[in-house]
Amino acid sequence: MLRRLAVRLLAGAVVVGLLAACTPAGAEHPEPAAAKDVGVQLFHWTWDAIAAECPALAEAGYGWVLTSPPQEHVLGEQWWTVYQPVSYRVESRLGTREQLAAMTAACAEVGVDVVADAVVNHMTGQDEPGVGWAGSRYAHYDYPGLWSDAEGHFHHCGLTADDDISRYDDVVEVRSCELVNLADLATETEPVRARLREYLADLVDLGIAGVRIDAAKHMAPPDVEAIVADLPAQALVLSEVIRGPQEPIRPEEYLGAGDVLEFAWGRDVKGIVQGGALRLATELGSHEGSATYLPSDAAWIFVDNHDTERGRQTLSYADGQDYVLANVLMLASHYGRPIVYSGYAFSDRDAGPEQDGSGAVLPATCPEDAGPARAWADGEWVCQHAWPEIAGVVGWRAAVGPAGEDAQVQVDGRVVAFSRGERGWLVVNGNAEDVTSTFETGLLPGAYCDVVAGRLADGACTGQVVEVADGGHATVTVPARSAVAVHVGARQDG
């Protein structure tokens, strides 16, 4: 289903007559939409910690969680050991099979879906034999009872000196050679596909509602389609296909398997936020903007993820207020659907999360003052999803629902306002100074609480109250490089 894009960019006008000019006094406010399309990637959160967090996620307005890979993996402290599968036993340093099932049950109880990261392109990258987290023995191309070279389960591409991928402009190499020495599964063969389907079916039995397909670019689209073929129709499938401008493999090729992660959005929004012309963010993915984005209804966007926060292509928690602005723009976006990222602080790219003596990951906890201004020590859980500014706008998105016919954008210089009919209104300020202005909000008259800087607690707003007058006008101060967001679910006089 194609969602209608109703972006209207009206440069240079502070107040533009949009929506009905007057609303009858005392008209009924609409109910919040209670939409559930915001995901959150809880990178390296344990199953127990996610289970404990789900009520807060539901309360904030998140619809689903993306976990780190749940299968048995190689030993080692680095974060990326979980991307080297040893078997498909659901037993990892993030928790046991029982804990995973308990997590999906606890989250389902509060209406939050759990989506697992599925590593199905490859096995380990270890040249020496070893033992995995759950005790399974393995060698680079031999996983007893599962995969072996003798049975033809692996690719040996023979196209490069060490069988490693070297050229991303060669489709065959990208899909049949090894990604950083990781033993590459022969995903075009039926036995391999069948066993991978079995793994995903097991995850579904454990209550998993969808999968991220790790390294999808490194498998041909029919392989990915075959691997996800038996998932329930409503399951979320997120293919990870990193868009490379000069590369022949296009993310669009994977739409037959389900939805696809759009890497371009996070890369493009970084420069836009740093430059301050926030209007440009509303054009990302629209026809005027870039014809190269995935179709909106199949695209998932993100400011950063665990890979990009370790590179320089996107913003990350270390960018503080710019990161908040980018997240607000994502959550207000008419394009695609958003995934908020939440990880731990690091200065070494390889550093894993804090672990106990056995290597089990310690449960995540969020500091009380988690937010853009805090200084983070290595290993601390950054809890971006709980930063008040981000969580508040997640609640805004849940309350206003998907952008429909009533979705509008108004631009005045570096100030951009998003209107969502009578359900909500949001404004971002790309200037280095506060801006006070009178806006046409489209809202019914009333006193609304700004959920970026404040919260409605026991009927009182801890931040700015936006007084909407008859006709929808409101005079609002938008803090420098920040935002104000109001919605029908947080009315002081409601």
Residues that bind Ca ion (CB under 5 A): 121, 175, 184, 218
CB of 212 to ligand LAG, least distance (A): 9
Catalytic residue among 91, 214, 259, 380: 214
> Using CB distances below 5 to 8 A depending on partner kind, what does residue 153 bind out of Ca ion, ligand LAG, none?
none
C-beta atoms surrounding 29 within 10 Å:
17
Strand-by-strand arrangement of the 424-429 sheet: 407-412, 415-420, 424-429, 483-487
Bridge partners of residue 429, in order along the sequence: 415
Instruction: Return d(Cα 125, Cα 128) in angstroms, integer.
Output: 9
Distance of CA 128 to the CA centre of its chain: 35
Joined tokens for residue 194: 């069948």
Q: Of 126 and 176, which has the nearer Cβ to ligand LAG?
A: 126
The one of Ca ion, ligand LAG, none whose footprint includes residue 181, by CB under 5 to 8 A per kind, is ligand LAG
Which residues are registered as beta bridge partners of 42?
A: 342
| Alpha-carbon distances of 62 from 69, 156, 393, rounded to whole Å | 20, 43, 11
Binding part of the chain for ligand LAG, among 176-184, 254-262, 265-273, 460-468 by CB under 6 A, reads 176-184
Residue 468: how many CA atoms within 13 Å on its side-chain side?
A: 30
Burial of 277 (0-12, 13-18, 19+ CB in 10 A): middle
Shortest gap between Cβ of 378 and ligand LAG (angstroms)? 18
- Report the site for ligand LAG in 209-248 (rule: CB under 6 A): 214-215, 240
Q: Confirm whether 223 is a catalytic residue.
A: no
Smallest distance from Ca ion to CB 212, Å:
16
Torsion sign (Cα): 311, 315, 319, 323: negative
Is residue 362 within 8 A of residue 354, CB to CB? The reply is yes
Strand partners, 182: 179
Q: Which residue from 40, 50, 119, 409 is in contact with ligand LAG, where contact means CB under 6 A?
A: 119
Say which of 178, 240, 253, 380 is annotated catalytic.
240
> Alpha-carbon distance 50 to 207, whole Å?
14
| Cβ 383 vs Cβ 367: under 8 Å | yes
Contact of residue 184 among Ca ion, ligand LAG, none (CB under 5-8 Å per partner type): Ca ion
Using CB under 6 A as the binding rule, whether residue 307 contacts ligand LAG is answered as: yes
How far lies 179's CA from each of 81, 221, 261, in Å? 14, 17, 19
> Rule CB under 6 A: is residue 181 a binding residue for ligand LAG?
yes
Beta bridge partners of 437: 476
**Separation CA 291–CA 268 (nearest Å):** 14
- Residue 380: name its binding partner from Ca ion, ligand LAG, none (Cβ under 5 to 8 Å by kind): none
Please indicate whether residue 214 is annotated as part of the active site: yes
Query: Which does residue 319 touch among ligand LAG, Ca ion, none (CB within 5 to 8 A, set by kind)?
Result: none
Nearer to ligand LAG, 182 or 226 (CB): 182
Please choose which of Ca ion, ligand LAG, none residue 80 contacts, taking the beta carbon within 5 to 8 angstroms, the exact cut-off set by kind.
ligand LAG
Q: What is the dihedral of CA 464, 324, 336, 206, to 10 degrees?
A: -100
Q: Is 83 in the site for ligand LAG (CB under 6 A)?
A: yes
- Applying CB under 6 A, does 295 fall inside the site for ligand LAG? no
Residues 305/341, Cβ–Cβ less than 8 Å: yes
Q: Is 166 in the site for ligand LAG (CB under 6 A)?
A: no
Secondary structure class of 132 (helix, strand, coil): coil
Using CB atoms, what's the residue nearest to Ca ion? 218
Count of residues engaged in binding ligand LAG, rule: CB under 6 A: 14
Looking at beta carbons only, is 84 or 464 nearer to ligand LAG? 84
Residues 121-140 interacting with ligand LAG (rule: CB under 6 A): 125-126
Nearest residue (beta carbon) to ligand LAG = 125
Binding flag, residue 92, ligand LAG (CB under 6 A): no
Q: Which of 180, 229, 318, 480 binds ligand LAG (CB under 6 A)?
A: 180
The residues annotated with a catalytic role in the active site are 214, 240
Q: Under the rule (CB under 6 A), what is the footprint of ligand LAG?
A: 80, 83-84, 119, 125-126, 179-182, 214-215, 240, 307
